[in-house]
Chain A
């Protein structure tokens, strides 16, 4: 079980010569809740894309001792790697229940697939309860509010039984209370899985991150606990511009506790 960790070695993604992820080394252990931050265009999403198989990459990306690079997207997903998208992507014409049931079922036999679903599978019911969508089980996902769609995506990740979860800006557009709930949920999940969260919301990061990696121009700029990263002059420079900065300035952008 403890072999379940994500290890990126020298991971590089380039688009026609433009290097979006630049020789990144990164290790995230099971039980960690790693926040990946960095300015727009830093390569955060691209890094997730590379690990989940959406864009080709060089270097190594191992999860649980198995190499992920070069495999097809659905094979990687079956190895226990789940992700969400920066803009919530759910099956709009299917109900919440159907969305979750599909997410739960990649291992189903042909025979099971060809039969009608009877009742609600326990894992799906539990996930609906967790993300608070039980009442909307039969609602088409397309008419959910934006925040609810994001919850649904998280629910899909839960029932998918992923052991590595990568979430791309999961709380963007959520209210304070919803963020709070999401944060606690992520904490709970991260107890026995490996979780990577891409976020711009610094308050959210400070409240829930167990560790932080800062990405800038495709490279790892800094890594450590929230406090360590916030105190890092390099990070301050990237977020605030070159030169020296007062603690207040830093506090405004990167949050208090610098």
Chain B
């Protein structure tokens, strides 16, 4: 029973971290087809934003709350810069975007090492997030609960924005039929830039959250990027709900496999499970039907 509750909680908690890392990708990869390897470094940028904010503001509680929007902005602007300079000319060759953004990711990592040093830095959590909460005799770390809540909030905000705002409608129209959207007067350029801004901004938010999990260094992004992509692949392209389900499923599976084997074997088993899953559903949990031969 004890184990069960702990494992379920670990699964949810791991899932919420995966979800935050993958949510932005679900937009940029899922909706726009760009394979942005620098997404991980946008996460890292968000984490370092939190670090800098804490240095500047001092008070841990305030700085965390200020960091969230700041990191969104930092991540988003990095994304816009990337989209406007390189990616906009590459929409017709999605595989190559992977390599180009890999180059960007190398540079951002090195930049972080040159600016912040190679050693990890700590961003202490504010008082109201340290220590556990007791529920029904079980204790849960407050920071993990905060992450879970934030992940859910991000999903809700994003889906509401996509469904209700004019921008959301433009994004969905552009994704579904670019030419038609263009000819009905939607500026697809502006939509692309905005989509990228939001997707990359979410990476920044994920970065802030990761500071609650431990010290941060230049390779923070590398450790999450592949898993985040696997979440989008399993979830299926084009829908946020796919990413949500996939993140929690993968998080739960990972926590169970890790519990019964070792962390290194768990990685291999998880990958094998993903490949096996794709045998049954090559397009992920949610499939979008198209008639294209591609």
Contact = CB atoms under 8 A, between A and B. Distances in A.
A16 B289 CA distance: 10
A15 B289 contact: yes
A208 interface: no
Contacts of B293: 85, 89
B216 to A, nearest CB: 45
B280 to A, nearest CB: 15
Contacts of B289: 15-16
Interface residues of A, number: 4
A99 B293 CA distance: 18
Instruction: List the 4 closest A-B pairs by CB distance, nearest first.
Output: A15-B289, A89-B293, A16-B289, A85-B293
Interface string A84-95: 010001000000
A85 B291 CA distance: 12
Interface string A26-67: 000000000000000000000000000000000000000000
Contacts of A16: 289
Nearest to A87: B293
Interface residues of B, number: 2
A107 B289 CA distance: 32
Interface of B is mostly: loop
A160 to B, nearest CB: 17
Contacts of A85: 293
A85 B289 CA distance: 19
A89 B289 CA distance: 20
4 contacts: A15-B289, A16-B289, A85-B293, A89-B293
Nearest to B289: A15
Interface in B244-294: 289, 293
Contacts of A15: 289
A114 B293 CA distance: 28
Contacts of A89: 293
Nearest to A85: B293
A16 B293 CA distance: 19
B287 to A, nearest CB: 10
B142 to A, nearest CB: 44
Interface in A152-198: none
Nearest to B293: A89
Interface in A101-118: none
Nearest to A89: B293
A44 B293 CA distance: 17
A83 to B, nearest CB: 12
B281 to A, nearest CB: 15
A226 to B, nearest CB: 30
Interface string A4-25: 0000000000011000000000
A68 to B, nearest CB: 19
B97 to A, nearest CB: 21
B191 to A, nearest CB: 26
A22 B204 CA distance: 51
Nearest to A55: B291
A43 to B, nearest CB: 13
A70 to B, nearest CB: 17
A85 B293 CA distance: 10
B18 to A, nearest CB: 29
A15 B291 CA distance: 11
A205 B124 CA distance: 77
A141 to B, nearest CB: 16
Nearest to A49: B291
A247 to B, nearest CB: 38
A51 B23 CA distance: 40
A85 B292 CA distance: 11
Nearest to A15: B289
A85 B294 CA distance: 13
B179 to A, nearest CB: 14
B115 to A, nearest CB: 45
Interface in B38-54: none
B51 to A, nearest CB: 48
A15 B289 CA distance: 9
A4 to B, nearest CB: 27
B180 to A, nearest CB: 16
A61 to B, nearest CB: 19
B38 to A, nearest CB: 30
Nearest to A45: B291
B50 to A, nearest CB: 44
A89 B291 CA distance: 14
A173 to B, nearest CB: 18
A83 B289 CA distance: 22
Nearest to A16: B289
A194 to B, nearest CB: 24
Interface in B135-158: none
A6 B109 CA distance: 62
A193 to B, nearest CB: 24
B145 to A, nearest CB: 39
A96 B293 CA distance: 21
